[in-house]
Amino acid sequence: MGEDLTAERIIATTGATGAVGGRVAARLARLGLPQRLIVRDLNRAPELPKSSAALAAYEDPAAFGRAVRGADVLFLVAADRAEERTELLRAVVDAAVAEGVRHIVYLSFLNAHASATCPLGREHHATEDYLRTVGAAYTFLRPSLYLDLLPGWIGEDGTIRGPAGDGRVAWVSRDDVADVAAAVLREPERHVNRVYDVTGPEAVSLGWTATRLSTLTGRTVVYVPQTPEEAAGYLHSRGLTAREVAERVGACAAVAAGELDAVSFTVPRLTGHPARSLEGYLRKHPSALSHAPLFGNSGKAVTAP
Ligand SMILES: NC(=O)c1ccc[n+]([C@@H]2O[C@H](COP(=O)([O-])OP(=O)(O)OC[C@H]3O[C@@H](n4cnc5c(N)ncnc54)[C@H](OP(=O)(O)O)[C@@H]3O)[C@@H](O)[C@H]2O)c1
């Protein structure tokens, strides 16, 4: 009988208190894989079988190095401090590699490249570029825009506003992103130096998204195209921070430019199930659009101003 080389492998999971990392940690636990959850607040670390928690913020690379000690594989979610994101992640990656981490699975962004319209795309590209040079194996997961965040794009008046033109995007659920990450982390040796686009099943415009959401929920959802300037003013007035405004406007502009118009087969290929659709998402979250107005008595959606 051959030796089971994976028996003692430890996965260091960052972002375990967040949306994607939390889902990934739960899936790894269900698979029975040992993991170290790297968190900024030990009280918020999820309690999972075969897991231990270690305290480290990316701002403290020495603590991060101690936290990953003994781990072979690292699942890395980017920092929330966007302005310093690239520098922080470089230091964290250096610390992990110095401690013997052999493979880094990085949660990036679809179509990350140096001249990406969206700031997220440029920042994730810078980190990907660095990861290619450090001597550890890498796998880049490049999700499209998160389907789960779409309800938050819709105002109480039922409008989705943004400078996305008629461009298309294949919204992807964070559950699917986590399923893909778990599949990769389970057998990282099969995904050495691979780059995966992680998307939903179909690329659709925001106008079409609004129409479909309306039909599925019986609520008024209308897409109102804006210029980037109009969008920035609107989002500021809704209380978003400057950074959040830049990311949303950038994401919409990337959609308009066709930079997110991609459909991949990564979800079905690596997980064995189809990528979740808008319909599937709403079946699971039937009240996701409860803040949008119901249709009027006419049964037709109102036209947005
Ligand atoms: N928005 C989109 O549509 C989209 C699309 C594709 C990819 N992405 C990428 O997906 C990632 C976010 O995923 P998410 O939804 O899981 O976000 P999230 O729920 O905000 O989770 C972020 C996680 O990272 C941790 N974290 C942030 N900064 C840290 C730091 N300096 N040191 C240590 N830990 C830190 C957070 O810890 P705390 O709980 O302590 O805050 C949290 O656990 C981002 O990298 C983003 O660029 C986003």
235, part of any domain: no
Q: How confident is the model at residue 84 (pLDDT cuts 50, 70, 90)?
A: confident
Encode pLDDT of 136-173 as tens digits: 999 999 999 999 999 999 999 999 999 999 999 999 99
Whether residue 268 has pLDDT greater than 80: yes
159, part of any domain: no
68, part of any domain: yes
| 121 CA → ligand 1 middle, Å | 15
216, part of any domain: no
Nearest CA, atom 13, ligand 1 = 20
- Measured from the Cβ of residue 99, the count of other Cβ atoms closer than 10 Å reads 17
Amino acid at 293: P
- Measured from the Cβ of residue 229, the count of other Cβ atoms closer than 10 Å reads 10
SS3 295: coil
Q: Is the CB of 75 under 6 A from ligand 1?
A: no
Question: Which residues pair with residue 159 across a beta bridge?
Answer: 222
Rg of the Cα atoms in the chain: 20
Q: Is the CB of 200 under 6 A from ligand 1?
A: no
128, part of any domain: yes
Nearest CA, atom 24, ligand 1 = 15
Q: Which of 13, 80, 145 to mutate to test the pocket of ligand 1 (most atoms within 8 A of CB)?
A: 80
15, part of any domain: yes
| 2 CA → ligand 1 middle, Å | 39
Encode pLDDT of 9-60 as tens digits: 899 999 999 999 999 999 999 999 999 999 999 999 999 999 999 999 999 9
Select from 146, 179, 168 the least CA-distant residue to 269: 179
| 181 CA → ligand 1 middle, Å | 14
Whether residue 6 has pLDDT greater than 60: no
1, part of any domain: no
Whether residue 296 has pLDDT greater than 80: no
Burial class (CB in 10 A: 0-12, 13-18, 19+), 227: exposed
CA atoms within a 13 Å half-sphere pointing along the CA-CB vector of 220? 18
| Domain tally, the chain | 1
118, part of any domain: yes
Cα 85 to Cα 286: distance, rounded to the nearest angstrom: 35
Amino acid at 60: D
DSSP string, 137-204: EEEEEEE-SBGGGHHHHB-TTSEEEES-TT-EE--B-HHHHHHHHHHHHHSGGGGTTEEEEE--S--E
Nearest CA, atom 45, ligand 1 = 78
Q: Is the dihedral of CA 254, 258, 263, 264 positive or negative?
A: negative
| 77 CA → ligand 1 middle, Å | 6
Q: What was the pLDDT predicted at 19?
A: 97
* DSSP class of 132: T
CATH number assigned to the domain comprising residue 123: 3.40.50.720
> Which contiguous run of DSSP H or E holds residue 279?
helix 278-284
Instruction: Name the residue range of residue 107's domain.
Output: 11-143+173-198
Encode pLDDT of 194-221 as tens digits: 999 999 999 999 999 999 999 999 999 9
Nearest CA, atom 33, ligand 1 = 57
